[in-house]
Structure 1
Amino acid sequence: ETSSTRFITTSNSTNNRTFKSSFRVIQDTSIDPVESERNEKNYKQLLDQYTKHVELAKSGGGEAAVQRHTLKQKKLLASERLRLLLDDEEDFLELGLSAGLGMPYGDVPRAGMISGIGRIHGRLCMIIANDATVKGGTIYPVALKKQLRVQEIAEQNRLPTYYVVESGGGFLPLQAEIFLPGGRTFYNEAVMSSLGIPQLAIVCGNCTAGGAYIPTMAEEAVMIHKQGYIFLGGPPLVKAATGEVISAEDLGGATLHCSVSGCTDYFAEDEPEAFMIGRNIAETLPSHNSCTLESEPPLYDANDIPGLISPENNIDIYQIISRIIDGSQFSEFKKKFGPTLVTGFGYIHGCLVGIVGNNGWLSEHAADKGAHFVQLCCERNIPLIFLQNTQDNPDPPLSGEMYGNQLRAHAKMISAVSCSCVPLITFIIGNAIGPTSYVMANRSMSPNFLFCWPNAVFCIDNPNKITQDLLQAGSSTGADVEAVKVKVTQKMNTETTSFYAASRVWNDGIVLPQETRKVVRQCLEVVNAYKQRDQPKAQVIRM
């Protein structure tokens, strides 16, 4: 076994001391080359689909809209604005990249905004940047859903939030789906500010109707001369209502709001100056501590993972864990009890984490073990990483008593996860099917972050079972069985995929398996940055 040297700093001493980890190295089983080749062929199809998804998402509103924005209006693209604001755009953790694709009202790439977490003068910040090339910067229902989720993450992790604003307000033909929940964005902005989470805005274009509230409610706002405008109704509306002809600059330009109304605080001549001011503001924000312990790469290659994922999502969880954690060293908890749920401790980029991973059906004993382990991590203030891949029960309960015991164990683990006081980071690495998905910290449990691999499957029950049930229902009504079968199969094949889920903001985005360790590191930096940890309200209860 190999050991690694790690460095820690205690609060009582300025001296660093070293210790050697005694966690065991996972003894990786050999990879079957035939099975690996079959799995990689299947994964290649998913990768091609993922690549097309990303290309479409990053295309914005299309070539014509991009040219109009950059050449005619002389404005920077949202991605270029982020480049000016961030310390390192390569270290930007984008959230909801696939949101808005394939919606009933058409594609809304990135849901009309780029959102994610990056460093500004070393401070981790949430950034929400409107993309005015998409639908003219108007807000669609999916955009609202994405922004509310991003604000939830910002509040959960106490991240200073930058709004890079250029918005035309709500898309009026769909106003019924936007109006009432839309006000929640302003509520969130006010509440986060009251909690001491800085709210900052840079006005890069029109902020019309509801879009006008975002910079006005921010603690500090930057506005660009003859480019940024804030008003509830623009010059055409003023003329229609009063007959008065007024320019956008006089009605709601930077000169007015920086010198007369006081709605904004910093006057910028152009976009580079605006983002320089935005960066200067970050220097005044509280600093934070991140994971800085020494780390080492896993012993096993993460590029092997696609060959370990079968088309049926049968995955050996030890093979995955060994390719994510430092030195592939894992201290397993209760290995012989409830072995279909793997729990234990490891380091990821020097940060100690608790890992919970499915390795089969979540049995009664497995759920009991999971509840115990989650409480243990809460007691010790250790972040939890869930690797979710739910499986069907191969041995259904033979009696009501057995079924009741199983339900109680699942309920116990759901309670432990729901009431946990440490960060939860969930990856759907295979199936997210049925009620056991809740137990493994799915979206309903409010994890700090939830990502999925391209092969992930989301469904309320086994898709094949649902298909059979729907076919039986169709045949009983005398419908054309073959026609129903084609329709149902197509529906299930579409609506259970990772791409369908990501486009509807059911998660925070699709991550390639070999990128998992990097994304976990970024998430750990975020959750460890500003969060004030709650203390457990009860002792650790054994099974």
Structure 2
Amino acid sequence: MPILESNLDTRSEAYQQNRAQMLALVEGFRELEAKVRAHGEARRAKFQKRGQLLPRERVARLIDPGSPFLELSTLAGYKMHDDNGRKDTLGGGNIIGIGFVSGVRCMITANDSAIKGGSIAPMGLQKSLRAQRIALENKLPGIGLVESGGANLNYQSEIFVEGGKVFCNMARMSAAGIPQITVVNGSSTAGGAYLPGLSDYVIVVRDRAKVFLAGPPLVKAAIGEDASDEELGGAQMHAEVSGLAEYLAEDDAHGIRIARELVAKLQWNLDTGRGAGRGSAQAPARSFAPPRYDIDELCGLVPPDPRHPWDIRDLIARLVDDSDFLEFKARWGTDTVCGHAAIEGHACGIVANAGPIMPEGSCKAAQFIQLCCQSRLPILYLQNTTGYMVGKEVEQRGAVKHGSKMIQAVANATVPQLTLLVGGGYGAGNYGMCGRAFDPRFIFAWPNSKVAVMGAEQIGMVMEIITKAKFAATDHMLDDAARKVRDDNVRMMRETLVNRIESESTALFATARLWDDGIIDPRDSRRVLAMALATCREAEARTLTPTSFGVARM
């Protein structure tokens, strides 16, 4: 058994400095998440007066007691649109995550109607689209808890066209054989009326649910007809007259109980006897041993300066079962580490680095990725790279040619790929290590991670060199005073650019734009990756029953 030996000195000054900085970053993003949740508490009395549960209470009641819930993209839209990053930290205005409902792993989405009435912001929309993609790739039944004031019209140009994908995806998932369940807790009007309309099962809450294409004022203006909310789209009307709703709930709690019972009745995990069957996805739990090193020590691994080297094996030793890692080609292309391991019993291949990617490392990774595809092993990328190495020597050794092999392998891999950004994700190295552009099944980030075309100082230096070269032809025409003013301006330009690029490279900037599926505490890495791997494993084993079209409402 190849057990990794770690020589990490947890008493060293460098380790303690790294740890202090990481813990401060963790505290920072946790405080922002708390601000998102605080909107609910601030409006608790209002919801109670209406006889409603808060949106996060609805989610908590939906999932099985004591079961894990992997919330995704908690800080989507941070400092974008109406999110100011302070009191109004909005998290995209919705809640998405993977949880267990009546024993079934589901994709759960909920409008956070405690935030701006659940109105849809541009990044909240993108968050919903990401949830649908994850559900489709991983064959997860979808449960939506709907209460929304509709699109935020201030940003209609960023919402309208893209918003149509939500409906298109619902129809395609239904056709693929993935059930779509919607609980309408409040308003689901105008375009939002198609959320229940395109669902396979609809539960509406009496006296609260509203589902119509146009409300009373618009109907009066358009056709001169007087009508009440209930007549146009009330819960009872849809349950008894239009037939849009299958189930009428008395309140939020009742609606959630119906949703849980419905999921149980679908027998999603039962072996149907059709080929592999749906039940084959529920493989028995595998025994495993925890890592031989304390996972808490992950907080002191990574130095703040990406140019300072560290051994990525110290991370692997604290992440994988029993610290057991069979390294592939350990003596060749040593800048890139590849090998076989397991996380909570889920076997996987690992591709990792902590520095630039050399031509030999590119070749090794490309070969290993193809071998994982051959044996149907999911691949985990531990990304911390300054990019593909540059310079005369590596160019002559085929850096472009070999780097392209690695990118080809990642782009065409036939197994689930997961990515964890633990440091820098710079340049084409971000692509070769399966960054967001290469559509990993899941991608998470530590709060210290950086994503950019290159380091801020490098960009500043490049631009300064280019600018000085442009001015070189006229240098002889300037006196010393004019030359000094010009050089001072170039330096100021460089400093301004460096500061801007630095702010645009942070983990918070990336997660706001959904370049990852969420920032996580390094100490949660094993738990989060294990749940993601289990989700992928179920999907690979599950057989769906597709139809030509989504199930039509009758």
The normalised TM-score by structure 1 is 0.89
Counterparts of 1:470 and 1:194, CA distance in 2: 51
Pairwise CA distance, 1:395 = 6.3
Pairwise CA distance, 1:51 = 2.3
- Matched with 1:25 is 3
Structure 2: runs of 5+ lacking an equivalent: 270-280, 472-485, 544-554
- Matched with 2:83 is 106
Counterparts of 2:394 and 2:96, CA distance in 1: 50
- Matched with 1:457 is 450
SS in 1 for 2:99: strand
- Pairwise mapping of residues 413-424 of structure 1 onto structure 2 (< 5 A)? 413-424=406-417
**Residues 491 and 386 of structure 1, relative CA distance in 2, 3 Å threshold:** same
Counterparts of 1:393 and 1:224, CA distance in 2: 56
User: Is 1:74 matched up with 2:83?
Assistant: no
Could you tell me whether the CA contact under 8 Å between 2:387 and 2:428 is conserved in 1? no
Could you tell me whether the CA contact under 8 Å between 1:61 and 1:109 is conserved in 2? no
**Residues 337 and 483 of structure 1, relative CA distance in 2, 3 Å threshold:** closer
Counterparts of 2:284 and 2:529, CA distance in 1: 12
Pairwise CA distance, 1:495 = 1.0
- Matched with 2:477 is none
Counterparts of 2:45 and 2:214, CA distance in 1: 23
User: Is 1:155 matched up with 2:136?
Assistant: yes
Could you tell me whether the CA contact under 8 Å between 1:69 and 1:133 is conserved in 2? no
- Matched with 1:8 is none
User: Is 1:223 matched up with 2:200?
Assistant: no
The normalised TM-score by structure 2 is 0.87
User: Is 1:316 matched up with 2:311?
Assistant: yes
Could you tell me whether the CA contact under 8 Å between 1:229 and 1:253 is conserved in 2? yes
User: Is 1:286 matched up with 2:268?
Assistant: yes
SS in 2 for 1:531: helix
Pairwise CA distance, 1:256 = 1.2
**88-97 vs 469-478, which deviates more?**
469-478
**Residues 185 and 501 of structure 1, relative CA distance in 2, 3 Å threshold:** same
Pairwise CA distance, 1:47 = 2.3
- Matched with 1:136 is 117
**Residues 473 and 400 of structure 1, relative CA distance in 2, 3 Å threshold:** closer
**335-344 vs 384-393, which deviates more?**
384-393
Counterparts of 1:309 and 1:149, CA distance in 2: 29
- Matched with 1:333 is 328
Pairwise CA distance, 1:485 = 4.4
Pairwise CA distance, 1:401 = 3.7
User: Is 1:500 matched up with 2:509?
Assistant: yes
**Residues 197 and 438 of structure 1, relative CA distance in 2, 3 Å threshold:** same
SS in 1 for 2:392: coil
- Matched with 1:373 is 368
User: Is 1:255 matched up with 2:255?
Assistant: no
Counterparts of 1:130 and 1:124, CA distance in 2: 20
**390-399 vs 236-245, which deviates more?**
390-399
SS in 2 for 1:183: helix
Pairwise CA distance, 1:409 = 1.3
Amino acid at match of 2:260: R
Amino acid at match of 1:434: G
Provide, for residues 370-413 of structure 1, a one-character-per-residue CA deviation record: whole Å limited to 9, x for no partner: 111111111111111110001256662337543xx211211111
User: Is 1:488 matched up with 2:497?
Assistant: yes
Counterparts of 1:317 and 1:439, CA distance in 2: 17
Pairwise CA distance, 1:56 = 2.1
User: Is 1:48 matched up with 2:41?
Assistant: no
**220-229 vs 30-39, which deviates more?**
30-39
Provide, for residues 151-208 of structure 1, a one-character-per-residue CA deviation record: whole Å limited to 9, x for no partner: 1111111111111111222111211111111101111111111111111111000001
Pairwise CA distance, 1:235 = 1.7
- Matched with 1:16 is none
Amino acid at match of 2:158: E
Could you tell me whether the CA contact under 8 Å between 1:60 and 1:110 is conserved in 2? no
User: Is 1:124 matched up with 2:117?
Assistant: no
Provide, for residues 310-343 of structure 1, a one-character-per-residue CA deviation record: whole Å limited to 9, x for no partner: 0114432100000011110111111111111111
Pairwise CA distance, 1:296 = 1.2
Structure 1: runs of 5+ lacking an equivalent: 1-22, 535-543
Counterparts of 1:264 and 1:315, CA distance in 2: 58
**Residues 480 and 52 of structure 1, relative CA distance in 2, 3 Å threshold:** farther
Amino acid at match of 2:527: K
**Residues 250 and 432 of structure 1, relative CA distance in 2, 3 Å threshold:** same
Cα RMSD (Å):
2.1
Could you tell me whether the CA contact under 8 Å between 2:203 and 2:249 is conserved in 1? yes
SS in 2 for 1:169: coil
**Residues 291 and 389 of structure 1, relative CA distance in 2, 3 Å threshold:** farther
Counterparts of 1:330 and 1:439, CA distance in 2: 22
- Matched with 2:277 is none
**Residues 230 and 473 of structure 1, relative CA distance in 2, 3 Å threshold:** farther
Could you tell me whether the CA contact under 8 Å between 1:126 and 1:159 is conserved in 2? yes
Could you tell me whether the CA contact under 8 Å between 1:168 and 1:209 is conserved in 2? no
- Matched with 1:6 is none
- Matched with 2:272 is none
Counterparts of 1:148 and 1:245, CA distance in 2: 36
SS in 1 for 2:528: helix
Could you tell me whether the CA contact under 8 Å between 1:89 and 1:118 is conserved in 2? no
Pairwise CA distance, 1:238 = 1.9
SS in 2 for 1:528: helix
Pairwise CA distance, 1:121 = 1.1
**86-95 vs 517-526, which deviates more?**
86-95
- Matched with 1:185 is 166
Pairwise CA distance, 1:42 = 2.0
Pairwise CA distance, 1:420 = 1.2
